Amino acid sequence: MASRRSSRQESDESAGFSPTLFIVLLVISTVLTIFDRPADRSDAFGSFRAGFTDIVAPILELAAQPIRGVKGIGPYFRNQGDLARENAEMREELIAARGWVELAERQRDQIEIYEAALNVETPEQRPLIRAWTVADSSGPFVHARLIGSGRNVGIANGYPVVNDYGLVGRIFETGRRSARILLLTDINSRIPVMADRSNARAIMVGDNSDYPRLDYVGRIPDIVEGDRIVTSGDDGVLPRGLPIGEAVPTRDGGWRIQLFSSQAPVDFVYVWPFDRIVGPEADVAKVPDMPVENSAAEPESDPVSDSVSDSGLVADVGAETAGDASGDVPLEARPIGSGENARTDGETTTVPEDGE
Amino acid sequence: MRKAKDANAIYWDLGLCVFTVLVALIVQAAPTRLLDGVNIMPTWPLIAIFLWAGLRPSFMPPIVVFAIGLTQDLLTGAPMGVWAMSYLIALAAFRFRGEDGMPRDLPPVLLRFLFMLLLAHTVAYLVGSWALGQMADLMPLIVEATATILMFPLLAFLALRRRRSGRSGFIGG
């Protein structure tokens, strides 16, 4: 028996499979898994991951080129009738869009008047950053996309990412030349949302399915089938009014969202360099010499900002939220069909912890 | 003269091994969803590991398998160590022992790969779920495993054919 085991070991060694090395590497793998858990990943591990993707991003970009080429071939083989119908539909949409452009311009003028009256300085809207997807990891553990642009073009953690139809996700890992998008469908995704029609608040929770579910909607939510769901901006990280999808009821009485962004492959996206808009009260509170009543009662930090981790994830979304802390977004900054019904009444609604 | 040809064959195989492993890793991470939303991707790195461990056992020591798994973790955004650990355990359990590597018949190769695939995905699922703190999505793993099972016979056939065409009949020609 002993001699058999010995000969087997020798055979393994001669084939290059060292049992000792195998055990050592198994231990290293275990240690890496423990310390690289998404919930408590350290900055060092995050930096290492970002550095690695920086190195491989150009290679992945090169590899993605033929796939994009194949995709571009598709329309040439499509039925001419389909193309003609699509063309006619787009013409109609273009005519309808002209009306919305006029409305947007009027509302922009109104907002400028309000801002002047309230003495609010809206940060200058930076242009959207366009990026190609270079890697698609839709495996069992993470729903994310890698894009071939990073800090070199001004991308930072937490920035929302949209495609032509709606919100796709947000940046959660930024390297110098690459960044990773956490998709709305990922199990770690939590986005404060509202129904565009009723302003009913909820939290959209990804569960790796194609239809993220709505949590904290209350016992009798003011949501109906087909309601347009948009970001509420309550977290202070995402702007208010970004289109997400349509409400779909489930058999168990809950709600899920059919994402607008899934109407097209997430191959080309826009990263929105969104800076939180500071309200006039916050501006006053920051001035040291100005007498402010009840200034001692002001919280030292914003509970919403505190609930958002460095990775841009909302850690405790059920806790107190701060209403429209982010303010509304100028319509001119919206690249997609957002906000046509968005309310701009500044109503503040909090999502109670018990979801009612 | 014969030795020089053998040495050349080894270098060619080594280059081919590196190339196929790199292609497997890149294709695994490629944005294939671009093609009409369909995303059916076999576990290419596992196929590469299994076949090369069978054709040239000395090309797939544990450190290389670990590096392949770790690279896949980093490319796909999974917690580091998940695929590295699963590939290591699966290869250790179901690799072909000794210098001869895999046999020349297809059925035993297919059967062994099937077991290896199931073990690798089971380990990845359990370890990944633990790392996430909740159960991971099982459906992509099932789809991936099914696609791998369907794709593997063709590649295994080509690998065995290449092996049979070797002059001496032993691994390495």
pLDDT in tens, A231-280: 998 887 888 889 999 999 988 888 999 999 887 777 789 999 887 666 65
Averaged pLDDT, A18-26: 91
Tally of residues, chain B = 173
Query: Which residues have a Cβ under 8 Å from the Cβ of A118 and sit 6 or more positions away?
Result: A280
Residue A91 burial by Cβ neighbours in a 10 Å radius (0-12, 13-18, 19+)? exposed
Q: CATH classification of B2-164 is 1.20.120, yes or no?
A: no
Q: How many CA atoms lie within 13 A of A61 on its CB side?
A: 15
pLDDT in tens, A71-111: 666 556 666 777 788 889 999 999 999 999 999 999 999 98
Kindly report the average pLDDT of chain A as a whole number: 75
The string of DSSP letters for A134-150 reads EEEEESSS-EEEEES--
Query: Which residues have a Cβ under 8 Å from the Cβ of A268 and sit 6 or more positions away?
Result: A130, A131, A132, A133, A163
Interface test with A, best of B70, B80, B88 (most A CBs within 10 A): B80
> Could you tell me which residue, A96 or B167, shows the higher pLDDT?
A96
Contact A133, A146 (CB under 8 A): yes
Averaged pLDDT, A158-162: 92
* Six-digit token string for B95: 């690799």
Paired with A129 in beta bridges are A271
Query: Which residues have a Cβ under 8 Å from the Cβ of A186 and sit 6 or more positions away?
Result: A142, A143, A144, A169, A206, A208
pLDDT beyond 60 at A293 = no
- Looking at residue A13, its pLDDT comes to 57
CA distance B28 to B20: 12
- Looking at residue A316, its pLDDT comes to 38
pLDDT beyond 50 at B171 = no
Q: Per-domain residue ranges for chain B?
A: 2-164
> Could you tell me which residue, A44 or A301, shows the higher pLDDT?
A44
pLDDT confidence bin for B82, thresholds 50/70/90: very high
Ranking A163-167, A306-310, B54-58, B96-100 by mean pLDDT, the lowest is A306-310
Looking at mean pLDDT, say which of A18-22, A305-309, A348-352 comes out highest: A18-22
Paired with A130 in beta bridges are A270
Select the residue of A15, A31, A208 nearest B57 (Cβ to Cβ). A15
Q: Does an H or E element contain A203, and which?
A: strand A201-205
pLDDT in tens, B100-151: 667 778 888 999 999 999 999 999 999 999 998 888 888 888 988 999 999 9
pLDDT in tens, A188-219: 899 999 998 888 899 999 988 889 999 888 77
Interface of A with B in 159-218 (CB under 8 A): 173, 180, 187-188, 208-209
Which residue do the tokens 């090395």 mark? A21
Q: What is the number of other CB atoms lying within 10 angstroms of the CB of residue B12?
A: 11
- Looking at residue B32, its pLDDT comes to 67
Q: Does A51 touch chain B if contact means CB atoms closer than 8 Å?
A: no
pLDDT confidence bin for A129, thresholds 50/70/90: very high
Beta-carbon pairs below 8 A across chains A and B: 184
Cα-based distances in Å from B42 to A309, B21, B81, B124: 34, 14, 20, 15
Paired with A247 in beta bridges are A257
* Six-digit token string for A96: 């309808």
Contact A292, A285 (CB under 8 A): yes
CA distance A19 to A16: 10
Query: With contacts defined as CB-CB under 8 Å, which chain B residues touch A36?
Result: 79-81, 131
CA distance A170 to B90: 35
Q: How far apart are the first and last CA of chain B?
A: 14
What is the phi/psi pair of residue A263, to 5°?
A: -70, -20
CA distance A138 to B83: 15
- By C-alpha distance, the chain B residue nearest A209 is B137
pLDDT beyond 70 at A229 = yes
Select the residue of A33, A45, A49 nearest B127 (Cβ to Cβ). A33
Query: With contacts defined as CB-CB under 8 Å, which chain A residues touch B19?
Result: none
CA distance A107 to A95: 19
- Looking at residue A219, its pLDDT comes to 74
- By C-alpha distance, the chain A residue nearest B35 is A71
Which residue do the tokens 């193309």 mark? A83
The string of DSSP letters for A190-240 reads EEEEEETTT--EEEEE--SSSSPEEES--SS----TTPEEEE--TTSSSPT
What ipTM describes this predicted complex? 0.86
- Looking at residue A298, its pLDDT comes to 42
Torsion, CA A38, CA A40, CA A44, CA A50, rounded to 10: 20
Ranking A15-29, A180-194, A285-299 by mean pLDDT, the lowest is A285-299
What is the phi/psi pair of residue B23, to 5°?
A: -60, -40
Query: With contacts defined as CB-CB under 8 Å, which chain A residues touch B63?
Result: 21, 25
pLDDT beyond 60 at A8 = no
pLDDT beyond 50 at B92 = yes
CA distance A254 to A209: 15
Cα-based distances in Å from A274 to A118, A151, A240, A271: 21, 14, 11, 9
- By C-alpha distance, the chain B residue nearest A49 is B74
Longest CA span, chain B: 60
- Looking at residue A15, its pLDDT comes to 61
One-letter identity of residue B173:
G
Paired with A279 in beta bridges are none
pLDDT in tens, A328-339: 433 333 434 343
Ranking A223-227, A267-271, A282-286, B77-81 by mean pLDDT, the lowest is A282-286
pLDDT confidence bin for A347, thresholds 50/70/90: very low
Kindly report the average pLDDT of chain B as a whole number: 84
Give the β-pairing of A143-147 and A228-231. unpaired
Give helix then strand counts, H and E, for chain A: 6, 12
CA distance B106 to A24: 33
Ranking A204-213, B45-54, B161-170 by mean pLDDT, the lowest is B161-170
Ranking A66-70, A108-112, A127-131, B1-5 by mean pLDDT, the lowest is B1-5
Looking at mean pLDDT, say which of A12-16, A166-170, A340-344, B168-172 comes out highest: A166-170
- By C-alpha distance, the chain B residue nearest A26 is B85
Averaged pLDDT, A131-137: 83
Contact: B97, A11; criterion CB under 8 Å: yes
Q: What is the DSSP letter of A237?
A: S
Interface test with A, best of B19, B22, B55, B137 (most A CBs within 10 A): B137
Q: What is the number of other CB atoms lying within 10 angstroms of the CB of residue A281?
A: 10
| Minimal CA separation from B154 to chain A, in Å | 23
Contact: B58, A16; criterion CB under 8 Å: yes
pLDDT beyond 50 at B86 = yes
| Minimal CA separation from A328 to chain B, in Å | 33
The string of DSSP letters for B94-149 reads HSPPSSS-S-S-HHHHHHHHHHHHHHHHHHHHHHHHHHHTSPPPHHHHHHHHHHHH
| Minimal CA separation from A340 to chain B, in Å | 28
Select the residue of B33, B80, B136 nearest A36 (Cβ to Cβ). B80
Integer-rounded Cα radius of gyration of chain B: 17
Interface test with B, best of A11, A25, A267 (most B CBs within 10 A): A25
Q: What is the number of other CB atoms lying within 10 angstroms of the CB of residue A253?
A: 6
